[in-house]
C-alpha cells in the first residue's frame, strides 16, 4: 500500500482522471473531495462490505424452505 501524508487543500491524482483532495480535518474525521468520471462508482467501504456480506448470506438457503415460504407469500399482482 502506498502511504502519503497530505494537508488540507493538498491532493492526490490517480491515473488520468481521478483527483482526491483533502478538504478539512476535524475532530478525528477527514473530509475528502473526489473528482472522478460519473461512470466510476464510488462507495463507502462499509456500505460495499454490507452488500457483500448480504450477498454471501443470500446464497445460503434450501429448496424446501423456499417452496414452503412461496406458498405463504401474498402477491399483490395476483389480486385485481
Partner 1 sequence: MKKIQTRFGEVEYSPEQVLHFPQGLIGFEDLRDFIVMPNEKQGPLFWIQSVEDPEVAFVLTDPTNFFLDYRVVPEKAELQKLAMAEGDDCFALSVVTVHPDRQITLNLAAPVLFAPASNRAMQVILEKTHYQTRTPLPTA
Residues contacting 70, CB < 8 A, separation 6+: none
Scanning residues 48 to 77, which ones bind partner 1 (CB under 8 A)?
A: 48, 50-61, 63, 65-77
Q: Which of 38, 45, 46, 80 binds partner 1 (CB under 8 A)?
A: 38
Q: Which of 5, 43, 46, 80 binds partner 1 (CB under 8 A)?
A: 43
Strand, coil or helix: 66: helix
Question: Is residue 31 a contact partner of residue 23, using CB atoms and an 8 Å limit?
Answer: yes
Strand, coil or helix: 75: coil
Minimal distance in Å, beta carbon 64 to partner 1?
10
**Sites of contact with partner 1 (CB under 8 A):** 38-39, 41, 43, 47-48, 50-61, 63, 65-77
Amino acid at each position: 500500500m502506498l502511504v502519503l501524508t497530505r494537508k488540507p487543500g493538498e491532493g492526490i491524482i490517480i491515473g488520468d482522471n481521478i483527483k482526491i483532495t483533502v478538504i478539512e480535518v476535524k475532530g478525528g474525521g477527514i473530509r475528502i473531495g473526489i473528482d472522478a468520471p460519473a461512470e466510476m462508482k464510488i462507495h463507502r467501504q462499509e456500505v460495499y462490505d454490507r452488500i457483500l456480506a448480504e450477498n454471501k448470506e443470500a446464497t445460503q438457503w434450501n429448496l424446501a424452505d423456499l417452496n414452503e415460504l412461496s406458498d405463504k407469500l401474498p402477491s399483490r399482482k395476483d389480486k385485481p
